[in-house]
Structure 1
Amino acid sequence: MRLSFPTSYSSRVPSLRFLPAIKPARQRCRWVRMESTTRRQRRKDKDNDKNKIVVIMGVTGTGKSRLSIEIATRFPAEVINSDKMQVYRGLDITTNKIPMHERLGVPHHLLGVVDPSDGELSSSEYRLLGASAISAISARHRLPLVVGGSNSFIHALVSDRFDPGSDGLDGLNSVSAELRYDCCFLWVDVSLPVLYKYLARRVDDMLHVGMFEELAVFYEQEGKRKSHTARRVGIRKAIGLPEFVNYFRVFRPGDGMTSTLTQLEGEVERRVLFEEAVKAIKDNTNELAKRQLEKIQRLRSGGWDLQRLDATEAFRAVLASDSVKSSEIWESEVLGPSVKIVSRFLA
C-alpha cells in the first residue's frame, strides 16, 4: 500500500562553514561607499525584474511532492517537475510519479511528457522547456514551483550562466551564485539512517502496488523491440530496470507465464533472483540519495540560499506507524515554516 507520506529522502548535513564576511577598509573614501551602495541598488532593481519561483529540493523520498501540493493549495501556484526520470512517459510506479488523485487539481508541467523512444532529455533541453513553463505560469500571475530531486536539472534551469558542455555539480567546477530567476529554495532534509529505513519500506510498498508487473510489461515491450539491452538512456536508467535484468533474462515476460508476485512463491530460483533484484534496488536508491545530497551541499556552499527544513522526526513517526504524530510534526517542522518562508518571499 502506498504510504501517504512523502516519497523522497535526504540526510542531515553537518553544519557548513561559511566564508567570513569581508570587512570594509577603514580608509575607504566616501565616493567608494556611494558607488558600492549604488551597485547594490542596481542589483536589487535587476532582481526585482526577474520572475519569482520557488524551488523545492531534497534527495529522493523526502516528501517534496507532498510539500509542493500543500504549498500550491495555499498559494496560486503550478508545479514544474525537475526529476530526470519523471519527465518520461510510462513506469509511473517505478519512477514514483505523484498519482493524479493526489495532485488535488494542481497543474503539473514536464511530468510524463517525453516519449522514452526519443532518447535522453539533456540538461540544455530541460533548461529551455523549464524556462518556457516558468514564463507561461508567471504570465498567468501564478507562482512556478520547481519540484524534484535532480539537482543538475535545477542547476541548469536557474543558473544565469549555464555551460552545457560541463556538469556544474561534478565537484570539479565552482558553482555560480548568479541566478536568472528570483529564487526561494526550500530544502527538505531527513537524516540518512532514518531515510534509508523509510526508503526500504517504500520499495516494498511499490512492489505491492504493481511495480513488478509494471516492469514485466516494460521488459516484454522492450524485448519485442529488441532494445532493452542496447543503450541505457533516459527512462531506462530508472532504478528498478537495470536491477531486474538478470531476473527477466531467465524468466522472460510473455513466455506463456503471467508475471505476478504470487507465482514467485515456492520457486527457488525465481525467489533468489527476485530478492537479489530488490536488494539491489534498495542499495542503489541509497547511493542515489547520497549523490543527490552531495550536490545539494555543493549548491549550498556555492552561495545558494537554501532554507533547510528538517523532516527527520516526522519520518521517524512514519516508521513507527504513528500517522497522527507524523502529520503534526510535518506541519510544525516543514509545512508551517515553508508557508512563512514563501509568504515573506512573495511579500
Structure 2
Amino acid sequence: MGATGTGKSRLSIDLATRFFSSEIINSDKIQLYRGLDITTNKIPLQDRLGVPHHLLGVFDSDLIEELTPSQYRLHASSIIEDILGRNKLPLIVGGSNSLIHALVSDRFDPNSDVFNDVDSILSSELRYDCCFLWVDVGIEVLYEYLLRRVDDMFDSGMFEELVEFFESEAESGPIQQFGIKKAIGIPEFEDFFRSGGGGDDTVDTQLKERAIQAIKYNTCELAKRQIEKIQRLRSAGWDLRRLIATEAFRAVLLSDSDMSSEIWEKNVVEPSVKIVKTFLEE
C-alpha cells in the first residue's frame, strides 16, 4: 500500500523474487483497464521479472465502463483462491485503498462509502489473514518526486500515447469520465486536443504547458487523498506496517541512483522481507 509514486510495484517485485511462490494482484483502479500504459504507470513487462500479474490491464473500458468495488472483490477473491489453491502467495499491490478495503473487509457494504461518509464505520474485521506493508515517503519529497516523474513520463512517450488516444476518440464528443478515461492526463489534455492541438504545426504551447501543470497538481492531490485514506484505515485498527522510503527518494532527486538503491534495500526491502517472513511463519 502507499500513495502514487512511492514504489509499491518495485517493492512487490523485490518481495516476489525473494518469496518465489508469489503472484501479484493489481489493486490500482485505473490500471485495471487496458491501454495508456505510460499514462497509467503500469509496470513494464520487462520489469516484472517473470512474476505473474493479475488484473493488470485486463478490462476494456468500452465493454465495461467502470468496475465497481464489489466486482473487484469478486474477481480478486477468485484469483486469491486460485493462487492459494496452488500453494502460492498472493500479493495485493496498488494505491486504490477503496479496492483494498472492498477486497479484505469482512463486512463490506457496497452502499457505504467509508472514506467519504462521516457516518460510515470503518471496521477492522478482515476476511483474510493479512500482512499490510505501507510504503511512505515524506510529503514534500514525494511531491517533488512526482513533479519530476510527470516530466519523465512525457520524456518516455506519454504525449504521443495521448495523441493516439484522442485520435481514437475524435468522433465521440466530450470524453466521458469512466474506466481508463478517468486516468490523470485525459481530462487535463482534453481542451488541448479538442482545440486542434497535437500536430507539429498547430500545437498551442501555452495550453499544453497548462495541461502538464494540471497533471502535476492533480497527481499531488491524488497522493494526498490516498495518504488520508491510509491514515483512516490505520486509525480504524488496520495493522499497517509503515516503511519510510523518504531517504531513498531524496537520493533519486539528487540523481544518485546507486545510493538510492542501497537506501531502498536497507530501509524498505530488508524490513519488508523480515515482516513477511515472520508473518508467514506465525
TM range (shorter): over 0.9
Alignment of 1:14-25 (within 5 A): none
Describe the SS at the equivalent of 2:170.
helix
Alignment of 1:281-300 (within 5 A): 281-300=215-234
Scaled by the length of structure 2, the TM-score of the pair is 0.96
Q: Residue 155 of structure 1 contacts residue 168 of structure 1 at CA under 8 Å; is this kept in 2?
A: no
1:178 is aligned to: 125
Q: Residue 162 of structure 2 contacts residue 186 of structure 2 at CA under 8 Å; is this kept in 1?
A: yes
Shift of 1:66: 0.2
1:112 is aligned to: 57
| Unpaired segments ≥5 residues, structure 1 | 1-56, 258-262
1:15 is aligned to: none
Give the counterpart letter for 2:268 in structure 1. V
Spell out structure 1 runs of 4+ moving beyond 2 A: none
Shift of 1:230: 4.8
State the structure with more CA Rg: 1
Show CA shifts across 1:121-154 (max 9, x none).
1000000001011001101101000000000000
Shift of 1:231: 2.0
Identify the match of residue 332 of structure 1 among 253, 266, 273: 266
Scaled by the length of structure 1, the TM-score of the pair is 0.78
2:135 and 2:117 mapped to 1: Cα distance? 22
Give the counterpart letter for 1:219 in structure 2. F
Show CA shifts across 1:66-116 (max 9, x none).
000010001110000000000000000000000000000000000000001
Identify the match of residue 215 of structure 1 among 142, 153, 162: 162
Describe the SS at the equivalent of 1:137.
helix
Count of residues paired in the alignment: 278
Aligned-residue CA RMSD (Å): 1.2
Give the counterpart letter for 2:75 in structure 1. L
Shift of 1:251: 1.8
2:111 and 2:190 mapped to 1: Cα distance? 32
Q: Residue 160 of structure 1 contacts residue 179 of structure 1 at CA under 8 Å; is this kept in 2?
A: yes
1:204 is aligned to: 151
Name the CA shift for 1:321/1:341 in 2 (closer, same or farther; >3 Å): same
1:141 and 1:157 mapped to 2: Cα distance? 20
Shift of 1:169: 1.7
2:67 is aligned to: 121
1:233 is aligned to: 178
Describe the SS at the equivalent of 1:309.
strand
Q: Residue 220 of structure 1 contacts residue 252 of structure 1 at CA under 8 Å; is this kept in 2?
A: no
Show CA shifts across 1:162-210 (max 9, x none).
0111212225122101000000000000011000111111000100111
Same amino acid, percent of matched pairs: 64
